[in-house]
Each structure stands twice: as C-alpha cells, then as structure tokens.
C-alpha cells in the first residue's frame, strides 16, 4: 500500500502520517485508530509493538512498508528490506521469458517487479532457515510441475543454495536461459556425476544431464499456493 492510498483510506494527512512514522509525535491510540484497521491490525497491537507488525522486531524505516508512487527522478524497484520478485514468469516448461537487465546473476540479468515481498523475520529464520538477502520470489507458468506447483503460483527460492543436494525442487536455467522449476535428483553412482531433471507432470519428459552443465539459480523453499 502506498502512502497516498493510506491517506485516502484513513483521512489522515500525508504530513501527519510522515510525522508519526518518523517519531516526531508520541504515538497514542487516537493517532493510530484512523489507519490501523486498513493495515490489518488493532491500534493496541501497533502501540504495544511500537513498530509495524510482522517485520521481525526493531525499528524500520517507513519506506520498508509504505511506498511512495515513484516520480520521474525516483528509483523504481523493491524497497529496502523487501524480498524482490522477478518480473519474468519462471517457466514450468517452455513458458519462460528471456531475461532483461536489472538483477545481475553471473552472466545473466533479470528484471525485477516494482514491489517486493515483506516476510516476518521469524518466518525466514525459523521456517526457511536462511536470510532475506538470499531470497527471490518467482511467478511460475506452465503445467510441467503439476500438481506440485500450478501455473500462477509463486515460489520462494534461496539463491545461496546452488548445489543440488539434497534432492528436491530447484530453479534452474533452461536451454534458452529462462528460469524454470524442476525436481533434481543426483545420480550418485555415475562418474562424472549426472543429475536427473524431472517434471512432476508425467506428460512432460524428464532428462539426465552432467552436473557441470546444470546452472542452478537456487533451491525452492516453499510455494505460495492459490486458494
């Protein structure tokens, strides 16, 4: 939600909201009541925490939660503290979009969406067992990984995990340098080591390639399911 949207919903002026965010006014319940519900919390919760809920503790800059609409001279991309989402749909077989320059990843460059994701620090630490700096979100397309992952669902990927162990779901580069999600299984008896690249949908063929020819973007940690 942008500041302008919150101002419109709450009736609080942009200047007043900025003073509250920057600590220039001592927070009271009557300050929080106009907009707390629009953020999904009670005034008592926000006053007790003294911060935006769900950010994992400590003070955060207001730009981490509320975004100004970018002007001509303002950067366009995820705010500090957010997990970026690639602006190319990660193909699940034949549907990937060629990379464009924004995020550098070795010899590749991938575009990012204007807004990222803000996950609770405890979720990243205790459930994903990694750090936010290593995470990327991918929007998927195609049916090669159905029913495990359905087209349109997003996956969270740990870009610091580039070795296919343990076996599982990984984001990899395909022949066309697009990012696809596949199940990798190391053939440990082969010399040199080979890896099975498996589609969960039996209607899509799997293949086996040398480990040295496999380019891993990261390990899939979880899927954000549609209901």
pLDDT digits (tens, 9 = 90+) for 170-195: 999 988 888 999 999 999 888 899 99
pLDDT tens, residue by residue, 108-126: 778 888 778 888 989 999 9
What's the CATH number for 90-224? Answer: 2.10.109.10
pLDDT tens, residue by residue, 60-72: 333 333 444 444 4
Is residue 87 within 8 A of residue 165, CB to CB? The reply is: no
Flag whether pLDDT at 56 surpasses 70: no
* Averaged pLDDT, 82-99: 61
Report the alpha-carbon distance of residue 180 to residue 203 in Å, rounded. 17
Task: Quickly state the pLDDT bin for 101 (edges 50, 70, 90).
Answer: very low
Report the alpha-carbon distance of residue 55 to residue 124 in Å, rounded. 11
Question: Does the pTM of the predicted model rise above 0.75?
Answer: no
Report the alpha-carbon distance of residue 36 to residue 80 in Å, rounded. 22
Flag whether pLDDT at 158 surpasses 90: yes
Q: What is the pLDDT of residue 62?
A: 36
* Averaged pLDDT, 24-36: 74
Number of neighbouring beta carbons within 10 Å of residue 98:
10
Report the alpha-carbon distance of residue 107 to residue 15 in Å, rounded. 44
Helix, strand or coil, per DSSP, at residue 54: coil
In the chain, which residues fall in CATH 2.10.109.10? Answer: 90-224
Write out the DSSP string of 168-194. Answer: EEEEEE-TTS-EEEEEEEEETTSSS-E
């Amino acid at each position: 939600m942008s500041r302008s949207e919150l101002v419109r919903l709450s009736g609080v002026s942009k200047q007043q909201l900025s003073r509250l965010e920057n600590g220039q006014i001592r927070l009271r319940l009557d300050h929080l009541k106009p907009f707390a519900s629009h953020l999904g919390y009670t005034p008592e919760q926000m006053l007790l925490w003294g911060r935006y809920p769900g950010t994992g503790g400590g003070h955060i800059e207001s730009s981490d939660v509320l975004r100004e609409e970018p002007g001509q001279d303002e950067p366009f991309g995820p705010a500090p503290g957010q997990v970026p989402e690639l602006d190319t749909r990660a193909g699940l077989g034949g549907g990937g979009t060629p990379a464009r320059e924004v995020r550098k990843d070795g010899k590749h460059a991938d575009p990012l969406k204007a807004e990222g994701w803000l996950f609770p620090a405890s979720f990243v630490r205790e459930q994903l067992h990694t750090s936010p700096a290593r995470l990327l979100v991918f929007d998927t397309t195609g049916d090669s990984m159905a029913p495990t992952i359905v087209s349109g669902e997003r996956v969270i990927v740990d870009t610091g995990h580039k070795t296919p162990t343990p076996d599982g779901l990984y984001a990899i580069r395909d022949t066309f340098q697009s990012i696809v999600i596949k199940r990798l299984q190391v053939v440990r008896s082969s010399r040199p080591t080979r890896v099975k690249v498996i589609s969960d949908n039996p209607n899509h063929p799997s293949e086996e390639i040398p480990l040295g020819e496999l380019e891993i973007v990261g390990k899939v940690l979880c899927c954000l399911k549609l209901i």
